Structure 1
Amino acid sequence: MSHLSILFLLLVALSFTPALSELCNPLDKQALLQIKRELGNPTNLSSWNPKTDCCNNNWVGVSCDTVTPTYRVDNLDLSEIYLTKPYPIPPSIGNLPYLKFLFITNSPNIVGTIPTTITKLTKLRELYIRYTSVSGQIPHFLSQMKTLQFLEFSNCKLSGNLPTWLPSLPDLYGVAFDNNRISGAIPDSFGFVSKRFGYMTLSGNRLSGKIPSSLGKLDLKTVDLSRNKLEGDASVLFGSEKRTEMIYLAHNLFAFDFGKVRVPKVLDSLDVGHNRLYGTLPKGLTSLKNLYRFDVSYNKLCGEIPRGGKLQEIDESFYANNKCLCGSPLPSCKRF
């Protein structure tokens, strides 16, 4: 056989074995293509071509772990997928065992409940489901996923109560369940989460009742409980030695002596407007040098606004509609 004939046969053989040069694990590729089918083969995922390598950075939303010798899909971003009709979250997502980060966002035609197959993702660290029509309760089976570090289910249609099982996730550092239909009280168990826990946003729900005293144990960097029906004393969220940078409690029914609050030294955003807070403004506010957002309007606060820090630079509308606040930037206090 001539050299030309041998070369020709080699070229033909290679043309029929493209998988030999692929980095993408064949099982991962099979799972991704099944996910695509379960979503009705949306045009956004046209780059998911079975004839190409899913780990070559050309498959939209797919990233692979390139550190280890075995390239496996570790990041899946299903954002802004245009669906012609409603589809549930694809159950085949559970067939990507090396997945660490999962995003399902900005797709209003994603419906139904969170599938149990997600529990097969034993390496998953962060799960984001936002701006979808996903409904039902936050499922208890997520408590099995001990690698979870961050959970975001925001701007969906979730209902039921907050999960009491959060302390069972040993590495959890934050949750965001904003703008859903979640009701009931904040569980006492929220105060017993991981020591790493520093981010909790639950705004825009139907939460009610009092804040459990156990939350005072938390050293949160960010807390947002705004736009609910919570009541009573929220002063446990404050503390001069805490690392809290943002506290949003607006549009609730909180009622406590605001003047007794110990303000975190690193606080840069505070919104307690539209509540029933009474007393004076805490003097600790004058020590805040970087106050980017501040609102105490529509409460029952009284007395002179302390001088110092950024307090005199705040627009007077953010002090408005209180019982008897006075002093710059509001009109001077009357002297008798």
Structure 2
Amino acid sequence: MMTNSEQYYSFWSFGVFFFLSLCPSFVLEDPLSILDNWDYNDATPCLWNGVTCAPDMFRVISLVLPNSKLIGSIPEEIGFIQHLHTIDLSNNFLNGTLPVSLLNASERQVLSLSNNAISGELTESIGGLKSLKVLNLSVNAFVGNLPQKLIPSGFQFVEVLDLSSNLLNGALPDNFDGDSLKYLNFSSNKLSGLVSPQFAKKIPANAAIDLSFNSLTGEIPKSIALSNQKTEFFAGNKDLCGKPLKKLCTIPSTLSSPPNLTTNPPAIADIPKEINSTPLPEQKTVVGKV
């Protein structure tokens, strides 16, 4: 067990590492002077703007700097802070790619980077966020296919998932394990293909699901979760049909064509006899003599 002095030294070293690794590469411009009190000479970063520590003062658990007009990129080192469960850098001017280290943290609960200019692809490693509850990467410039393992088994605690207003393509993932979802937004991307029954199978009936303004096609599956959505949550998919849209799915032409009709009269044997009708008298056949 570490002594108090060892803990202090370890924490001071961490404070220096935190500052040296983040400040030079994190921010190119800080017009609001949000980071003016980030000083590596401090014994602890727990009083720095945007930084929150656990009650024991030996763990940084939160980095929250939204609406700060910060310009720069997110350094890889930020993902190595072991107990950092909340990262909110939304509504800034951050660019570059999303560090893979941010997607491999078992304790991460909130990752909000919306309204920036972050680009690149979302890799399947996003499934490493086993404790995640909020993922908001909306209004950025992410490209490539929507990861099919976006919510694999074990990643079932997500309540808010917002990837709207990016450049993502590909199909909606099957086997979508969204038992805890309250809000799902994939709108304003380039997603295509069918909305499969498997996609909506585990989504709660009261969750809000916005799939608008993509290139989805076919009939919306008959699912309580999908049927409960507002019509506008499916708007902008011109080849999508079925409830809750007012656009009904057309019957395939092979089924809508009337069967071939003939003008020949039906055979006598096919005409049913009237019930209780009087039978015709039997006719005797006269056989002529030869």
- TM-score normalized by the length of structure 2: 0.70
Please state whether the residue corresponding to 2:24 is helix, strand or coil: helix
After TM superposition, the structure 1 = structure 2 runs for residues 187-266 of structure 1, keeping only pairs within 5 Å, are: 187-190=173-176, 193-217=177-201, 218-220=203-205, 221-238=207-224, 248-258=233-243
1 or 2, which has the higher strand percentage?
A: 1
Give the structure 2 partner of residue 45 of structure 1. 35
1:278 alignment partner, one of 248, 258, 269: 248
Give the structure 1 partner of residue 50 of structure 2. 61
Query: 2: distance between equivalents of 1:76 and 1:124?
Result: 12
Give the structure 1 partner of residue 91 of structure 2. 106
Query: 2: distance between equivalents of 1:100 and 1:216?
Result: 28
- 8 Å contact from structure 2 (residues 104, 126) kept in 1: no
Q: Aligned pair in 2 of structure 1 residues 246, 127: CA closer, same or farther (>3 Å)?
A: farther
Please state whether the residue corresponding to 1:197 is helix, strand or coil: coil
Shift of 1:112: 2.0
Query: 1: distance between equivalents of 2:222 and 2:146?
Result: 20
Give the structure 2 partner of residue 155 of structure 1. 139
Please state whether the residue corresponding to 2:125 is helix, strand or coil: helix
Amino acid at match of 1:189: N
Amino acid at match of 2:157: D
Give the structure 1 partner of residue 61 of structure 2. 74
Instruction: Work out whether 1:178 is the aligned partner of 2:164.
Output: yes
Shift of 1:223: 0.4
Please state whether the residue corresponding to 1:32 is helix, strand or coil: helix
Amino acid at match of 1:39: F
Amino acid at match of 2:214: N
Q: Aligned pair in 2 of structure 1 residues 154, 119: CA closer, same or farther (>3 Å)?
A: closer
Query: 1: distance between equivalents of 2:242 and 2:102?
Result: 45
Runs of 5+ in structure 2 lacking a partner? 250-290
Q: Which is greater in Rg?
A: 2
Shift of 1:189: 2.9
Please state whether the residue corresponding to 2:18 is helix, strand or coil: helix
Amino acid at match of 1:36: C
Shift of 1:35: 0.9
Query: 1: distance between equivalents of 2:126 and 2:200?
Result: 26
RMSD: 3.1
Amino acid at match of 1:50: Y
- 8 Å contact from structure 1 (residues 150, 175) kept in 2: yes
The number of residues matched between the two structures is: 235
Please state whether the residue corresponding to 2:63 is helix, strand or coil: strand
1:89 alignment partner, one of 47, 50, 74: 74
Query: 1: distance between equivalents of 2:171 and 2:81?
Result: 36
Q: Aligned pair in 2 of structure 1 residues 97, 27: CA closer, same or farther (>3 Å)?
A: farther
Q: Aligned pair in 2 of structure 1 residues 62, 37: CA closer, same or farther (>3 Å)?
A: same
- TM-score normalized by the length of structure 1: 0.61
Query: 2: distance between equivalents of 1:212 and 1:257?
Result: 13
Query: 1: distance between equivalents of 2:103 and 2:221?
Result: 37
Please state whether the residue corresponding to 2:198 is helix, strand or coil: helix
- 8 Å contact from structure 2 (residues 163, 186) kept in 1: yes
Q: Deviations over 1:93-147 (max 9, x none)?
A: 0232111111122222x22221122245331112111111111111222222322
- 8 Å contact from structure 2 (residues 122, 147) kept in 1: yes
Query: 1: distance between equivalents of 2:83 and 2:13?
Result: 11
Amino acid at match of 1:54: P
